[in-house]
Structure 1
Amino acid sequence: MTVLVVGASGATGRHLVTQLLLKGNNVKIIVRSNENLPKFWSEDKNLEIITASLLELNEKELIKYTSNCDAIASCLGHNITFKGIYGQPRKLVTDATKRLCNTIKNHAPSSPIKYVLMNTSGNSNRDLNEPISFAQKCVIGLLRLLLPPHVDNEKAADFLRTQIGQNNGYIEWVAVRPDGLINEEEVTEYESYPSPIRSAIFNAGKISRINVGHFMAELINDNELWHKWKGQMPVIYSKTSISNS
């Protein structure tokens, strides 16, 4: 299995890459800089590091990097700084998703490519009737006005839902919605649900970044799990978070 990962240098992307390598995948990553990457990555023969800005690559380069991939995973996100939140590119996740998916369609693979998008539990799946309280709707409305990254996450998932859809011959997708992210060193037990089982705003659960990376790697490698969730937006929680709800 050959997997392209974008956003690999981020806190969750690092875990995803490591989990994919542990499962024996051939992994390609596109990063703006190879500084501060885990040291052992440069020694792994199954990892190819491509130093480039994803949104600045031309179509020929994108085809080169995606044409032999079985899956593409995005852990892209905005840095939690003023520039990262309000600076350009404001639609980093959406634009990357569109470019990668359009490139896949242009080179028309013989079998569908898996696209796994890391999203957020604060984004509802509008294919389902997910109940949201009036208070949470108000807060989400404010986030849309004040925080461009939230809108970016919504539009990226909406592109997969509405433009790629459920019956695309070239792309199958899953948008993973972790709840409150925390740091842990080991994979622990976690569970996935079609929709949130608690309020992402007023009663958020927790999920470790390593668990998110593990779940995304499992989706890519486990066909049974993939068929369970393809075309959906599963929400994941650590089991301890569920028991404390």
Structure 2
Amino acid sequence: MTVLVVGASGATGRKLVEQLLDQNHKVKVIVRTPGKLPESWKTNGNLQIISASVLALSDMEMTEIVKDCHAVASCLGHNLTFKGIYGQPRKLVTDATRRLCEAIQSNGLQSPTKFVLMNTTGNQNRDLNEPISLAQKCVIGLLRLLLPPHVDNEKAADYLRTQIGQNDNFIEWVAVRPDGLINEEEVSDYEIHQSPTRSAIFNAGKVSRINVAHFMAGLITDDNLWNKWKGQMPVIYSK
């Protein structure tokens, strides 16, 4: 299996790449600064490093990159700096999701390509009736006004829900919603829910980045797990 990972230099993206390589899958990564990647990656024959900004690639280049990929995973996010939060590109995750999906569709492969998006529990799945309190609605409203990355996450998931939908011939998708990301060295027990079981704002849970990567890798490589969650926005918590 060949998998493209964007956002591979981030904390969760690295964990995902490592898990896929450990399972002997072929992995492509698109990174702006390859020099920051682990040295072991640079000598791994199953890893192809593409040095570029994902949004700077031409449509033709992106189509060529994804043409032999069975799955595409996005762990893209905004740097937690003033420039990363308020600078350009403000729609990094959304625009990358859209362009990658368009590249997949343009290849017209016989079997659908899996698209796994790392998202957030702060974003509701508007395909479902996910009730939240009035106080949380107010906070989310403020986040939309004050934090462009939150809007970006919402629009990226909305693109998959509304533009790709449930019956696309070329793409199947899952948007994974982690809560309260923390760092751990080993995979631990975790639980998956269709919707949040607690308030993402006032009673947030926690999940390790390596657990998120483990679940994303499982979605990519385990068809039974994929069929259970495709077209959905599962929430992940560490136990």
Establish whether TM, by shorter chain, passes 0.5: yes
Tell me the secondary structure at the aligned position of residue 214 of structure 2: helix
Matching residue's letter, 1:106: S
TM superposition shift of 1:180:
0.2
1:85 counterpart residue number: 85
Question: Equivalent residue for 1:97?
Answer: 97
- What's the CA shift for 1:39? 1.6
> Pairwise mapping of residues 121-140 of structure 1 onto structure 2 (< 5 A)?
121-140=121-140
Could you tell me which runs of 5 or more consecutive residues in structure 2 were left unpaired when the two chains were aligned. Answer: none
Amino acid at match of 2:5: V
Deviation at 1:187, TM superposition (A): 0.5
SS at match of 2:213: helix
Once residues 177 and 197 of structure 1 are traced to their aligned partners in structure 2, the CA distance between those partners, rounded to angstroms, is 12
Write the distance in 2 (CA, Å) between the matches of 1:98 and 1:119.
15
Distance 1:200 1:166 in 2: 26
- TM-score, structure 2 as length reference: 0.99
TM-score (norm. length: structure 1): 0.97
Q: Secondary structure at the match of 1:65?
A: helix
Q: Does 1:157 align with 2:190?
A: no
TM-superposed CA distance for 1:36, in Å, is: 1.6
The equivalent of 1:196 in structure 2 is 196
Partner of 2:27: 27
* Aligned length, in residue pairs: 239
- Offset of residue 24 of structure 1: 1.4
Q: How far apart, CA to CA, are the structure 2 residues paired with 1:198 and 1:16?
A: 26
State the match for 1:242 in structure 2.
none
What letter matches 1:94 in structure 2? Answer: T
Aligned to 1:169: 169
Q: Deviation per CA, 1:109-156, whole angstroms, max 9, x where unpaired?
A: 111000000000000000000010000000000000000000000000
- Counterpart for residue 16 of structure 2: 16
Q: Does 1:45 align with 2:42?
A: no
Instruction: Give CA deviations for 1:20-74 in whole Å, capped at 9, x if unaligned.
Output: 1111110000000102211211121100000011111111111111000000000
Report the secondary structure of 1:41's partner residue: helix
Q: How far apart in 1 are the matches of 2:51 and 2:224? A: 34
| 1:115 partnered with 2:115 | yes
1:243 corresponds in structure 2 to none
1:61-112 Cα offsets, whole Å, 9 max, x none, are 1111100000000000000000000000000000000000011111111110
CA positional deviation for 1:195: 0.1
Measure the CA separation in 1 of the matches of 2:135 and 2:38. 42
- Per mean C-alpha deviation after superposition, the further-off stretch among 217-226 and 16-25 is 16-25
Unaligned stretches of 5+ residues in structure 1:
240-245
Structure 2: which amino acid aligns with 1:159?
Answer: Y
| Paired residue secondary structure (2:93) | helix
User: Which residue type is aligned with residue 237 of structure 1?
Assistant: Y
Displaced runs of 4+ in structure 1, greater than 2 A? none
Per the alignment, residue 179 of structure 1 pairs with 179
Tell me the distance in 1 between the aligned counterparts of 2:51 and 2:114.
Answer: 23
Moved more, 31-40 or 132-141: 31-40
Name the CA distance, whole Å, in 1 between partners of 2:25 and 2:193. Answer: 26
User: For 1:62 and 1:125, how far apart are their aligned partners in 2?
Assistant: 28
| Residue type of the alignment partner of 2:203 | N
SS in 2 for 1:60: helix
Q: State whether structure 2 residue 221 is matched by structure 1 residue 218.
A: no
